[in-house]
Amino acid sequence: MFFELTEEQLAVQEAAREFAQKELKPGVIERDSKQEFPKEQIRRMGELGFLGMMVSPEYGGGGMDTMSYVLAMEEISKVDNSCSVIMSVNNSLVCWGIETFGSEAQKAKYLPKLASGEWIGSFCLSEPEAGSDATMQRTTAVDMGDHYLLNGTKNWITNGGSSSVHLVMAQTDAEKGHKGINCLIVEADWQGVTVGAKEDKLGIRSSDTHTIMYTDVKVPKENRIGEDGFGFKFAMKTLSGGRIGIAAQALGIAGGAYELALAYSKEREAFGKPISKHQAIAFKLADMATEIEAAKLMVYRSAWLKDNSMDYDMASSMAKLYASEVAMRHTVEAVQVHGGYGFVKEYHVERLMRDAKITQIYEGTSEVQRIVISRGILKGQLY
Ligand code: CAA
Ligand code: FAD
């Protein structure tokens, strides 16, 4: 494993940093307060190639590796986590899922629009009674010969009000359990698709999260991804990669809060010297830097494993588990370093603290990551 980034990876990192600082930072507080979807910012991200980074050039994508994607996610997440979750779902769940497991016709039809940002995608697994326990799908896809008839409700869907394409997991044959689940590509403007109210959230407030109802939606058979019954494995495998993206988001949140705390601690004076010269504050900075470095190694390693076609299921769960806990812990500390100023929106750290929490919940809670990791250990997958 190499620790040196290539010139291309460094260029992507620099481009993402510049875009985040110059184009996302100026309006991020207002968008978050008003829960305003970052429409113009997402259009720009499509233009700059951030929405289909790993998609092959033949389908209009950037053809980049997971490492480049992680570096971009990290920089954007230092500033705007509504934009980075939209980016993460589109890249690592929707585009990657279609390109890796979809048919040639599905790739040709959907990837160019998704990679350019003309369309945005949603990944629809969770249901009111199937969150962590994802095999308990109640949404049904009844086989009608040439099409499926889709009925059910998905909740917590990121990009729910703005996406044009949904990857929907649904149960076709309940007797087969998870082996009876299919993943269907559904277009948002098809008859029978209804988008519910937008959730009013603690963090990532300008991303739009909705419940989506499907009522007698006719989905052509050619829109099923993979063989009959492949839907649950499709979701699990796709989420293994998705978790690398969320781990990178958490890493960016922690890094962004650390950079703000470090700069502030050098400027703010108390008792005749910068607060960074008080050991209590200096030690907080030392702990932040150390744990962020450890999280970085885990996140980059999981990307490296994926790029080198090695098994990354456990590594991505470990990276997400650890990076999200570091993000939560150190955004709280970054607020503390800022004192009262940390408690107001202007200084950005309170938003990062609110955003950190979701990284411990979505794409599998910290408890679910521990299930994946402990099962892997018991199967002898590590050491
Ligand atoms: N790759 C391929 N197959 C996998 C797999 C993987 N990573 N993980 C599990 N499977 C397979 C298993 O091999 C098994 O197949 P067989 O029966 O043929 O062996 C099948 O899937 C069922 O696996 P389990 O028995 O392990 O299933 P389980 O019911 O015990 O659940 C779980 C395991 C890890 C808890 C899983 O349900 C899970 O990941 N839950 C969390 C759901 C989740 O992450 N949701 C995220 C929604 S998307 C989102 O959140 C997006 C966003 O916010 C931005
Ligand atoms: P539950 O599964 O009910 O869990 C409740 C608590 O019990 C958690 O602490 C959990 O860890 C714990 N728990 C459950 N089972 C176990 C166990 N076996 N052992 C130990 N502890 C356990 N989903 C999508 O499909 N697509 C999306 O785009 C999407 N975006 C989201 C965006 C936001 C802002 C949010 C909040 C959620 C999103 N989700 C999405 C859903 C998310 O993935 C789920 O919320 C998550 O998987 C947890 O499911 P749940 O909320 O039903 O919690």
In order of their start, the domains of the chain are 7-120 (1.10.540.10), 122-231 (2.40.110.10), 232-379 (1.20.140.10)
Q: How many CB atoms neighbour CB 323 within 10 A?
A: 34
Amino acid at 291: E
Q: Which atom of ligand 2 is nearest to the CA of 154?
A: 25
Is the pLDDT at 75 greater than 60, yes or no? yes
d(CA 28, CA 7): 30
d(CA 98, CA 289): 37
Confidence of residue 53 (pLDDT cuts 50, 70, 90): very high
What pLDDT score was predicted for residue 212?
98
What pLDDT score was predicted for residue 381?
81
Q: Are 79 and 28 in contact (CB under 8 A)?
A: yes
Is the pLDDT at 382 greater than 80, yes or no? no
Ligand 1 site residues, Cβ closer than 6 angstroms: 85, 89, 123, 125-126, 132, 134-135, 158, 178, 232-233, 236-237, 239-240, 313, 362-364, 368, 371-372
> Residue 209: nearest ligand to its CA?
2
Please state the rounded mean pLDDT for residues 278-294: 98
Q: Is 314 in the pocket of ligand 2 (CB under 6 A)?
A: no
What percent of the chain is helix, strand and coil (3-state, nearest 5)? 60, 15, 25
Please state the rounded mean pLDDT for residues 341-353: 98
CA 380 to ligand 1 center in whole angstroms: 18
Q: Are 365 and 313 in contact (CB under 8 A)?
A: no
What pLDDT score was predicted for residue 1?
63
Q: Is 139 in the pocket of ligand 2 (CB under 6 A)?
A: no
What pLDDT score was predicted for residue 42?
98
Q: Whose CA is nearest to atom 22 of ligand 1?
A: 178
Please state the rounded mean pLDDT for residues 199-210: 98
What pLDDT score was predicted for residue 81?
98
Task: Give the whole-number percent of the chain exceeding pLDDT 70.
Answer: 99
**Among candidates 319, 317, 303, which has minimal Cα distance to 6?**
303
Pocket test for ligand 1, best of 82, 233, 236 (most atoms within 8 A of CB): 236
Q: Whose CA is nearest to atom 1 of ligand 1?
A: 237
Q: Which atom of ligand 1 is nearest to the CA of 85?
A: 54
- Whole-angstrom distance between the N-terminal and C-terminal Cα of the chain? 17
Q: Are 198 and 212 in contact (CB under 8 A)?
A: no
CA 48 to ligand 1 center in whole angstroms: 33
Among 175, 333, 363, 367, the one annotated catalytic: 363
> Residue 134: nearest ligand to its CA?
1
Please state the rounded mean pLDDT for residues 319-332: 98
Confidence of residue 227 (pLDDT cuts 50, 70, 90): very high
Task: Give the whole-number percent of the chain exceeding pLDDT 90.
Answer: 98
36 is catalytic: no
Q: Whose CA is nearest to atom 15 of ligand 2?
A: 132
Q: Which helix (H) or strand (E) holds 186?
A: strand 181-187
Q: Which atom of ligand 2 is nearest to the CA of 128?
A: 52
What pLDDT score was predicted for residue 131?
98
Annotate 105-168 with DSSP letters as a single string. Answer: HHHHHHHHHHHHTSS-EEEE--BTTBSSSTT----EEEE-SSEEEEEEEEEEEETTTT-SEEEE
What pLDDT score was predicted for residue 2?
64
> Residue 204: nearest ligand to its CA?
2
Pocket test for ligand 1, best of 233, 302, 310, 369 (most atoms within 8 A of CB): 233
Is the pLDDT at 383 greater than 80, yes or no? no
Confidence of residue 192 (pLDDT cuts 50, 70, 90): very high
Please state the rounded mean pLDDT for residues 150-169: 98
Work out the mean pLDDT of the chain and round it to a whole number.
97
Please state the rounded mean pLDDT for residues 365-379: 96
d(CA 41, CA 39): 6
Per-residue pLDDT tens over the stretch 106-126: 999 999 999 999 999 999 999
Q: Is 207 in the pocket of ligand 2 (CB under 6 A)?
A: no
Please state the rounded mean pLDDT for residues 297-316: 96
Confidence of residue 3 (pLDDT cuts 50, 70, 90): confident
Q: Whose CA is nearest to atom 3 of ligand 1?
A: 233
CA 319 to ligand 1 center in whole angstroms: 17
CA 348 to ligand 2 center in whole angstroms: 27
Q: Whose CA is nearest to atom 36 of ligand 1?
A: 134
